[in-house]
Amino acid sequence: MIEGLQEMLKRDFDITFKDVDLLDAAFTHASYVNETPERKKKLKYYERIEFLGDAVMQLCVSEYIYEHYPEMPEGKMSRLRAAMVRADSFSKFAIECHFNEYIRLGKGEEKGNARQRPSLLCDIFESFIGALYLDQGKDEVVRFISKVIFPKLELGWFDHMMDNKTELQEVLQQNGECKIKYNEVNVTGPDNERVYTMNVVVNNEVMGEGTGRTKKAAEQMAAYQALKKLRK
């Protein structure tokens, strides 16, 4: 599996690891180590590297936003960074990069479909970043995320993920106090796959409506639609 991962990284991203053991650890889940007792002392898994990768991503994304958006206020910079480094963003990047295909899992985790679990995919993406940083430094991390993440920023990919509720409140309250209320419009789907529809009402006028897998996500989408309406 590690050979296939190396080939993919070279082919798709022109990345060749010097320390292959580091790359191996970044894609190894604890369940795999626990089920391989004869190699337990030699094998390492991703959690410590993921801790570092999270910090590296925060720094690289912060620097990019600061340099490329000189007029953006601090509050909006923070919301944009939060949208870019959130778990569901990283899990999508991991799938786009085919990282899910190369995770080493224990049999139980494999049967439990952990390879598609968003939280694990997020962890693996961060651990890869941490491993790349340790192996080749920050410049190489920036080069990688300049291919994978930053182009999406320019296309507005993260706009709907930002804290739109806070931004909507700030925009509306520039002209004085106003009453903002979020209401549940509809709920569909079985218990484990609920889809919520929420709207946002400003001074008794419906300004936007959105759907999501949670009420909070639907509220964010409703606020996003309201902001689009206001900008027109």
The residues annotated as belonging to the active site are: 54, 126
Contact assessment for residue 210 and residue 220, using Cβ atoms and an 8 Å cutoff = yes
Ligand-binding annotation for 21, yes or no, is: no
Burial class (CB in 10 A: 0-12, 13-18, 19+), 159: middle
CB atoms within 10 A of CB 37: 9
DSSP character at residue 42: T
Q: Which of 53, 87, 149, 94 is nearest to 103 (CA)?
A: 94
Q: Which two three-digit tokens encode residue 216?
A: 């909070």
Q: What spatial distance separates the first Cα and last Cα of the chain, rounded to whole Å?
A: 51
Ligand-binding annotation for 163, yes or no, is: no
E strands, the chain, in order: 180-188, 195-202, 205-212
217/151 Cα distance (integer angstroms):
24
> What would you report as the CA-atom Rg of the chain, rounded to the nearest whole angstrom?
21
E strands, 84-179, in order: none
Ligand-binding annotation for 123, yes or no, is: yes
How many CA atoms, within 13 angstroms, populate the side-chain half-sphere of residue 215?
Answer: 7
162/168 Cα distance (integer angstroms):
11
Question: Residues annotated as binding site for Mg(2+)?
Answer: 50, 123, 126
